[in-house]
Structure 1
Amino acid sequence: MTDKVFDNNQVNIAGEVVSGFTFSHDVFGEGFYILEVSVDRLSNSYDIIPLMISERLIDVKEDYKGKYIEVTGQFRSYNRHEGNKNRLVLSVFVREIKILEEDYVSSKPNSIFLDGYICKAPVYRKTPLGREIADILLAVNRPYGKSDYIPCICWGRNARFAEKFTVGGHIQVWGRIQSREYQKKIAENEFEKRVAYEVSVSKLEYIEEE
């Protein structure tokens, strides 16, 4: 399959491995595992990004914690059934991986490009401090009639621009993947800590259809 198939969903991540391998699923005898990587932000904080890696790309029996890796791939989603509800689960599907020297500096430690279609009306709001935000759910096509559903968050002028978009609109976004902890209410006075993943958009373009 040519790389052109993957042009609409491109991810580059470089960071420190902070977990062991956790088995995810098996496809035609090929095992896939989740590995978590810590990626530094410019603000001195960090994001924990889950990677989906085939056992054919790396030795999943080895402990890589503390090592630095760089991967290229795609940001993918799938629906996991939890009781009577579906939960959108996101991870970076790894196509290439390399182990780095500890002092290696990546030119793209956390970058993503998506080309897709708006599948829910954007939600524009302001934070208590007055910061403008717009949430977009983007459908990015995959081969064989599949799609990935990627939450994106826009800021400032991009948020105001995105507020006008309609369902079905074709857009391209550039940015980074970020992780965010939140409290999920699971019963009266009972909350569970969860992590959400989304694309923080730095550049946004609307594509006019011919």
Structure 2
Amino acid sequence: MSEKMIENNKVNVIGEIVSGFTFSHEVFGEGFYMVEVAVNRLSDQADTIPLMVSERLLDVHQDYTGRTIEAIGQFRSYNRHEGIKNRLMLSIFVREVHFMEEFTDYTKTNQIFLDGYICKQPIYRKTPLGREIADILLAVNRPYGKSDYIPCISWGRNARYASGFEVGARVRIWGRVQSREYTKKLSETECEKRVAYEVSISKMECEEA
């Protein structure tokens, strides 16, 4: 894989494994499995983030629940077909994994860098309390003509700055991966709780198209 392509999407998380492995898919005889990791925030909350791990990287038949790991890889997306609709699924594709016995520096538990392109007009809004937010969808290129579509969220001055981005603009983002629960209305009488994953932006740079 091109080193340049790896450099445009880098994520590093440290957290506690909170699930077993579930089979995802197989490519050329190599099985990939999903496992969830709880990554602490400084606020004492935790983000539960899905990792996609090759069976050649870890023994997926073992139970690692409660172990602390560092996972290094890329934040990736794929479309899952649900009836007539597509749902964007996100996970960290793990390239390296390390078990950790002791960890104290919680400022470095969750870091991501993305270098991609704005693929739809950012949505700028204010919360009822007046906090400024802008939602961004970033297309990050992968080899063989593929791209990952990563939802990102910015706040305050960054949100105002992002609201002026044009489709096609190249943007570099630094931040953290976060999980967020929301309620999806399926019909007039039926709702379902779901979890969305996105990048919370701490710093960004834009290079106009």
TM-score, reference length from structure 2: 0.97
Tell whether the 8 Å contact from 2:166 to 2:208 is kept in structure 1 after alignment: no
Equivalent pairs counted in the alignment come to 209
Measure how far apart 1:102 and its partner are.
3.9
Measure how far apart 1:207 and its partner are.
1.6
Q: Deviations over 1:28-86 (max 9, x none)?
A: 10000001000000111110000000000000000000000001100000000000000
Provide the secondary structure at the position in 1 that maps to 2:5. Answer: helix
Tell whether the 8 Å contact from 2:2 to 2:143 is kept in structure 1 after alignment: no
Q: Structure 1 vs Structure 2: percent identity of aligned residues?
A: 69
**1:1-210 aligned within 5 A:** 1-103=1-103, 105=105, 108-208=108-208
Cα RMSD for the two superposed structures: 1.2
Tell whether the 8 Å contact from 2:32 to 2:53 is kept in structure 1 after alignment: yes
**Distance across 1 between alignment mates of 2:196 and 2:189:** 21
**Distance across 1 between alignment mates of 2:132 and 2:107:** 29
Unaligned runs of 5+ in 1: none
TM-score, reference length from structure 1: 0.97
Measure how far apart 1:187 and its partner are.
1.5
Tell whether the 8 Å contact from 1:37 to 1:50 is kept in structure 2 after alignment: yes
Moved over 2 A (4+): 1-5, 102-108
Which deviates more, 135-144 or 185-194? 185-194
Unaligned runs of 5+ in 2: none
Q: Deviations over 1:150-203 (max 9, x none)?
A: 000000000000000111111000000000000011111210000000000000
